[in-house]
Structure 1
Amino acid sequence: MMLRTRQEKWMDRVNNIILLLIALSMLFPFLYIFAVSFSSFEDVIRSDFILWPKHWVTDAYEYLLGSSRFFQSFFVTVYITVVGTIVNLFFTATMAYGLSRPIYGQRTLLYMVVLTFLFNAGLIPTYMIVKATGLINSLWSLIIPAAISPFNLIVMRQFFMNIPEELHEAATIDGANALQIFWKIILPLSKPALAAFSLFYAVGHWNSYFSAIIYINDPAKWPLQVMLRQIVIVDEAQAALQGGEQLLVNPPPSETIQMAAILLATLPILCVYPFLQKYFVKGMTLGSLKE
């Protein structure tokens, strides 16, 4: 075991202090949002800087959770995230595995994937395709056009290529076909990569709002992020949440509603991350190097 010098120990301490300050700076917005969402309107008006509620008030959360429109947008987002992530992983894994095997036209297909990674059709042609396929105002318009990420596909392909060829040969000798090899051997060995990419896809679906603005015309099908945009940016909390229903006669101020909506929209995806964190680094590094 190598002895560390005094300079190296001091460098570690300095790095730890810097990382601690960066972490605190990242946590400050969440603390501010939390404090404002539970503060009374008088405290928000009187104080420009709130780190902890002086008077705990839950009117903003009661207003949000009492809206069926908010719950509807929440479940729409959960549906898009779950179904979209499954679709993403299925198409990405199957195509990546196909491109990792010696098949006819492999190089041409790989060039086509890289081409879509460097260039895209643009907003108007994509909208015309979605409209021509009848997906306008359908939740599938938020899933199918982004079924495969070229970057994730390339990294997962490299991950599959790093799996020893002897496993394929042994399974083939035992009589397994390509589908059995992929389902019973390759996928179980690819859990770290699948977990990492499922996190990428899930976060992308959860935070997506621009596609919904373009393709979804019915406010009842708005995902949570579009609802959050109407509340925070457009400042139409009452119009977005009520949707024809009667909520509180005297609704809370828009500032507390905005902060409460941001917190409720952020917490679910933050709760998912710790369960996939242990696979995150391993899943990305295994497919990043070529033997």
Structure 2
Amino acid sequence: MPTSSYSVLDPYIAADLRGDLDKQNILNFPISTLSLAIKANIYYFGHPEWAKNYFENCHRDQKFKSCWQAAMGSWDQKIVVDIGCGPGNLYATLGGKPQLLIGVDISDGALSMAQRLGYTPVKADAHQLPFIDNFADVVVLNATLHHCDNMEVVLEEAARLVRPGGILITDHDPQLTAWNFQGLGLWLWNFRLWLYRLIKRGGHTSAVEQTWALATEVHHRPGDGVTPELYYKVLVSKGFHVKIYPHNHTVGAEVLLGNYGKSNKKYRLAQLCSGINPNSPLAALSLMCVATRHV
């Protein structure tokens, strides 16, 4: 894969915009609003140790790989945009040979790691992507929407990049109805943070790392998250055929057959204590959206 250069990206950059190449050959575009969430994502995913923890512990297992490969098919020889690419987890797990693999993020540190894997890196705000419309064969957002201030705007921006016949996939964003913890369930869920620090789980190895990690996840909190209605509202009117797959991160390609799996005991306990039926699809932890553009 080529490293980032303006000549590679030039056909796909909006005519009224021009980015600046930095010393690492990363194309930078201005970020108009440095919100608290954006600052947290820049700092957390730019931290070399924390980014490494995230890279090694998230979205790297065989179940994740088989589910994504079944949903997307091959991305070989295709133009791919990975929005919120982070340190490059998706490509590191899926492999393949895209014609052009553009990684968009706001963290220089994360983009540097992704660049070494083969991404063509672009530093830009996902709410204001610097690209033309309708050029990408595949647009992906894995564990991205819930890190953004306005999930609807980011989804709209992602959708406009997809060419007719192309595909948009999002995954690993928390389903609102699964995380609506209350009462004892909410207390138990908050208690887990102390336990995670104690066992030094990835992303929680210290109080400081845990604080910054949580600050990045602006829509991963009790009573917040994505809903099927969000995807239908944004995508159907833009000519997409939308399929939504709830799942619990415990099965692979079977997710696309309606098997959402069984979540870990800690989630089920918190849900039961909150009056949520843990065996319901509404209790599935994440929603995967696979949307094909037909016009």
TM-score by length of 1: 0.19
Which structure would you say has the larger RCO, counting Cα contacts within 8 Å and 6 or more residues apart? 1
User: Is the helix fraction higher in 1 or 2?
Assistant: 1
TM-score by length of 2: 0.19
**Greater C-alpha Rg:** 1
User: Is the strand fraction higher in 1 or 2?
Assistant: 2
